[in-house]
Amino acid sequence: MSKKKASINFDDAYTELQAIHAKIQDDNISIEEISTLIRRSTELIKFCKKRLRSIEGEIDQAFEEEVG
């Protein structure tokens, strides 16, 4: 999994989160699989939040350079 983390981007993470959401909606899913999917989704959400904060910082910096 560490290999996957190194190459993941925001779009991939978001797509995987959508797939996890769809799987969790299945009535035939086991509690063990739900637990695994929830852990993975937590990792992906943390990654997405971190990436969005980074992008926000880049945008803020670009505006400051333009105005400043």
* Domains identified in the chain, total number: 1
What pLDDT score was predicted for residue 67?
Answer: 80
Sequence-ordered alpha helix ranges (H) in 1-68:
2-7, 10-24, 31-67
Segment 3-62, tens digit of pLDDT: 455 689 999 999 999 999 999 999 899 999 999 999 999 999 999 999 999 999 999 999
User: How far is Cα 18 from Cα 12, in angstroms, rounded to an integer?
Assistant: 10
Q: The domain containing residue 29 runs over which residues?
A: 2-67
Read off the pTM.
Answer: 0.79
What pLDDT score was predicted for residue 1?
Answer: 44
